């Protein structure tokens, strides 16, 4: 009799607003399993509208993990996610042959699927100096520094997130090696098979969906959510698209219309960087999210991995 030898992790990736949540839920229903979020902002309980979390109906449809699991006040790094995520998968695979890992944060997906080299410990004075430069001169100079010393990471990182940029620069200044070189480590062998599925849409369609989603977020109360978070704006979790632009509005630096337009523009740029990240990984299988049978295609691809890993 044949039976699967090893459980399978099904990754559902893609740019923001492409439809990952709906696809992940459909796959989880088919395989009778749970969804683990790999979205670096949906972990945080205080950030809901601006992070486009699954709604109550979607959360009730299948069990989700790493949604509302942490507070913005808790330090939570990609290394923490790797450790906690692998421990969770170890438990889930005791009762499930498949688990869905869904999200658009390539770094967090890589953490679960491959892991990282150990990053060097930076001198605290380097971070203090870079933070002072950010405060006094703004983010543009730091962005240009990163472009010069690590063009690969520059093309992929969320350029609106100063802490990500500062982290990459302090690694470079501490080691003399670009941050991206530490993310090209020998893949750590995981005790599960992995199939990576990526959703995409024609650019015009995707960008229209992003613009519409931002308008819906505003209608749902994004301004009130961001206003309530003003006392915590210094926290790393809030250095992200959808929040920093509205902080500028509340500071009187820009109009509301301009802030909303900047959210749309920065989200479109972020989606472009997400696609660049996933395209660099040849193990991803690509699917068009607007095809009527896309879920069936994804299910068949995921099932074939398990079928190819059975033993008599």
Contact yes or no for 199/12 (Cβ under 8 A): yes
15 assigned binding-site residue: yes
Q: What span, in angstroms and rounded, lies between the C-alpha atoms of 184 and 206? A: 29
33 assigned binding-site residue: no
Token digits of residue 76: 């939570």
19 assigned binding-site residue: yes
Contact yes or no for 304/296 (Cβ under 8 A): no
140 assigned binding-site residue: no
79 assigned binding-site residue: no
Q: What angle do CA 184, 185, 186 make, to 5 degrees?
A: 125
189 assigned binding-site residue: no
102 assigned binding-site residue: no
Q: What span, in angstroms and rounded, lies between the C-alpha atoms of 172 and 182? A: 10
Assign 3-class secondary structure to 145-189.
Answer: HHHHHCHHHHHHCCCCCHHHHHHHHHHHHHHCCCHHHHCCCCCCC
Q: What span, in angstroms and rounded, lies between the C-alpha atoms of 132 and 135? A: 5
14 assigned binding-site residue: yes
List of long-range contacts for 202-207, beta carbons under 8 Å, 24+ apart = 202/290, 205/290, 206/15, 206/17, 206/18, 206/271, 207/268, 207/271
Provide the annotated binding site for substrate: 16-21
Provide the annotated binding site: 14-21
Provide the annotated binding site for ATP: 14-21
């Amino acid at each position: 009799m044949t039976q699967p030898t090893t459980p399978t992790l099904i990754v559902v990736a893609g740019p923001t607003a492409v439809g990952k949540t709906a696809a992940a839920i459909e796959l989880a229903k088919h395989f009778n399993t749970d969804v683990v979020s790999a979205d670096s902002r949906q972990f945080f309980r205080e950030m809901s509208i601006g992070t486009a979390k699954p709604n109550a109906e979607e959360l009730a449809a299948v069990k989700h993990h790493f949604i509302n699991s942490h507070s913005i006040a808790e330090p939570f790094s990609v290394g923490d996610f790797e450790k906690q995520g692998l421990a969770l998968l170890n438990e889930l695979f005791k009762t499930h042959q498949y688990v869905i890992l869904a999200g658009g944060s390539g770094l967090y997906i890589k953490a679960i699927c491959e892991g990282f080299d150990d990053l060097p410990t930076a001198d605290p004075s380097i971070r203090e100096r870079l933070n002072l430069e950010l405060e006094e001169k703004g983010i543009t100079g730091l962005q240009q520094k990163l472009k010069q010393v690590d063009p690969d990471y520059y093309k992929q990182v969320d350029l609106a997130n100063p802490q990500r940029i500062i982290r990459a620069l302090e690694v470079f200044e501490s080691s003399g090696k670009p941050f991206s070189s530490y993310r090209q480590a020998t893949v750590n062998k995981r005790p599960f098979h992995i199939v990576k599925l990526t959703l995409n849409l024609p650019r015009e369609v995707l960008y229209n969906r992003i613009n519409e989603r931002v308008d819906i977020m505003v209608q749902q109360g994004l301004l009130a959510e961001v206003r309530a978070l003003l006392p915590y704006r210094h926290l790393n979790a809030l250095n992200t698209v959808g929040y920093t632009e509205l902080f500028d509005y509340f500071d009187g630096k820009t109009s509301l219309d301009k802030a909303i337009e900047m959210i749309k523009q920065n989200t479109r740029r972020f989606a472009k960087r997400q696609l660049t990240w996933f395209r660099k990984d040849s193990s991803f299988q690509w699917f068009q999210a607007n095809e009527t049978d896309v879920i069936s295609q994804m299910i068949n691809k995921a099932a074939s991995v398990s079928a190819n890993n059975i033993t008599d």
